[in-house]
A and B are shown apart, each in its own frame.
Chain A
């Protein structure tokens, strides 16, 4: 009883950590530009696929991971430079279509560069399960959670303690005032895409030994990450992390106790319920409209 509950909790927190990283990616880009980047899920896929590809080509795993993150960040920066930056003045709907176009494009590209098969990455430190009160804990799960915690702490440090991070926060509050204070808001936008792509890649790489990856893996992960970000209140970093964990845990519990077929629906049912009663998400600031 307790052990199966614990088992569901572990798998929920694990996948929730990935949703949280993805949700953070959405929030960072949203803060810098008010763009919802529907290609966020593709960053997860590109990170994972390039790590697998490099590792299969004989590159040592740590180096493969670092290179894969850099490749994904380069894709993120290119996406910003080539597709988002030229359309900065376009409407929200137009920008949504651009990022959806980008995600279709990147998926098509991945299918050409790699293939349509499922791929697995070696676990980082063996497959010997750890027994935890009757539940099974795989070493890779600890890697996922540890990485997520470290990345989130690094982000918090970056946004609160570095000039670059503070500049990004300032831009999210008031882009014009930030610009007047000498902040290069274009650069902020570029960094936000690079950073979000990096976050997606890290999440995609650490989860791949558990869940496998394929060229079309990014769609659902991206949508769940978006749910996490909206659930926590768009643009709210801590909210995105909480949202990701809530979505992940609820999903694992629903799959365990109710029906695995409706697992993917759970995230969206929660989000609808929350939006109906709390239109700005769980921790979102109440917005006002200027006339």
Chain B
């Protein structure tokens, strides 16, 4: 991607994010938009790992949850300022991701899927079980996010914070993709041995991307802990991890814009499907299968390929 089109894409996203709240009729819609924003931030990070480095993680909700619970626990039990708690959570997740990345990223394909799935499930079981610290299945309330006397309250205020953070994340991700790191990542996605032969330190890059995507998830998680009134372990469980991977794959792997579309679409879908009540899982599962069968590369790459083919 040339740098001009990258700035154009970022600009378009900024305009879209600026206009969106003007057309949303009430705070319920703003709330859905904020939730989509949280998912989008995590997905842009996860897409770096899945789409560009070609490594699947079925445990990313665990990192999101670890960040969220670090914030909630440090703020409520120990009286830390929210920003310090957020940074502590990010540091903890970063160190954890780094410690597990080296042995785990040596694994390939399904073994890596299994390892990340295992880590995610262990985190979720610990959060459910250590009730005296985490509140167990009932959850924990982290209170409002405040910084230097300013308190972040209400859906609309949160919207601007999340929109800003999303722009920063997309900017970082596109930067990374266009840098030598990005080229190295694409090389190792194509053929790992091939990349090594031409001198790419594949393990180092995989570890880097794994840590970056985990830290992004953790920061999003920390903020989410303050946004939601009650943080529960379901935000860190296996289904949440699956949901995140689905968003990335649905929107289109190796497409930052695709990750945004996937996150937005799949955040809205359950809201729409609630009218179907008990049929919701049937329809959701059907949509997941259908898109992957008919558009195996995901929504955005398929549509853009279709559009370029039609252009003379």
Asked whether any CB of chain B lies closer than 8 Å to the CB of A161, the reply is: no
Interchain nearest-CB distance for B140 vs A (Å): 18
With contact pairs A93-B50, A94-B296, A276-B103 given, residues A287 and B289 touching in the complex (Cβ less than 8 Å): no
Do B113 and A36 have beta carbons less than 8 Å apart?
A: yes
- Residues of B112-145 at the interface with A, using a CB-CB cut-off of 8 Å, are 113-115, 117-119, 121-122, 125-126, 129
Specify which of A101, A230, A234 is in contact with B285 (CB 8 Å cutoff).
A101
Known A-B contacts A83-B293, A272-B118, A289-B192; A105 and B282 likewise in contact (beta carbons under 8 Å): yes
Contact at B104–A275, with CB atoms within 8 Å?
A: yes
- Is A108 touching B279 in the complex (CB atoms < 8 A)? yes
B107, B122, B197, most chain A CB atoms within 10 A: B122
Cα-based distance from A98 to B286 in the complex (angstroms): 9
Nearest Cβ on chain B to A118's Cβ, whole angstroms: 18
Say yes or no: A93-B279 contact (C-beta < 8 A), given A106-B285, A223-B117: no
How many of chain B's residues touch chain A, expressed as a range?
35 or more
Give the number of residues in A that approach B within 8 Å (Cβ atoms). Answer: 50
Q: How far is the CA of A275 from the CA of B296 in the complex (A)?
A: 30
What are the residues of chain A within 8 A of B104 when measuring CB–CB? 275-276
Q: Cβ of B193 < 8 Å from any Cβ of A?
A: yes
By beta carbon, the residue of chain B nearest A108 is B281
A103 to B114, CA, bound (A): 17
Q: Are A100 and B114 in contact (CB under 8 A)?
A: no
Closest to B103 in A: A276
Q: Does B92 contact A (CB under 8 A)?
A: no
From A90, A102, A269, A272, residue with most partner B Cβ within 10 Å: A272
Contacts of A97 in B (CB 8 A): 245-246, 249-250, 288, 292
Is A280 a contact partner of B111 (Cβ separation < 8 A)?
yes
Nearest opposing residue in chain B for A275, CB measure: B115
The answer to whether the Cβ of B110 comes within 8 Å of any Cβ in the partner chain is yes
| Chain B CB within 8 A of A130 CB | no
B151 at the binding interface (Cβ < 8 Å): no
Interface of A is mostly: helix
Q: Give the docked Cα–Cα distance between A77 and B277 (Å).
A: 29
CA distance A291 to B190 in the complex (A): 9
Q: How far is the CA of A268 from the CA of B119 in the complex (A)?
A: 7
Nearest opposing residue in chain A for B281, CB measure: A108
A60 interface hit (Cβ, 8 Å): no
B72 within 8 A of A: no
Q: Given A86-B293, A94-B292, A265-B121, A230–B284 Cβ distance below 8 Å?
A: no
Task: Say yes or no: is B253 at the interface (Cβ < 8 Å to chain A).
Answer: yes
Assess whether A159 is interfacial by the CB under 8 Å rule. Answer: no
Q: Using A262-B125, A287-B108 as known contacts, say yes or no to A105 and B286 having CB atoms under 8 A apart.
A: yes
Q: Determine the chain B residues whose CB is within 8 A of the CB of A111 once the complex forms.
A: 278, 281
Q: A271-B114, A272-B119 are in contact. Are A112 and B194 (CB under 8 A)?
A: no
B106 interfacial contact with A, CB 8 Å: yes
Residue contact B293 to A272, C-beta cutoff 8 Å: no
Q: Which 4 residue pairs are nearest across A and B when measured between Cβ atoms?
A: A105-B285, A101-B288, A108-B281, A268-B118
The 18 listed contacts between A and B (C-beta, < 8 Å) are A36-B110, A86-B293, A94-B292, A94-B296, A96-B113, A96-B245, A97-B246, A98-B289, A98-B292, A101-B287, A104-B285, A105-B284, A108-B285, A262-B125, A279-B108, A289-B191, A291-B191, A291-B194
A residues with CB within 8 A of B? 30, 36, 83, 86-87, 89-98, 100-109, 111-112, 219, 223, 226-227, 230, 234, 261-262, 264-265, 268-269, 271-272, 275-276, 279-281, 287, 289-291
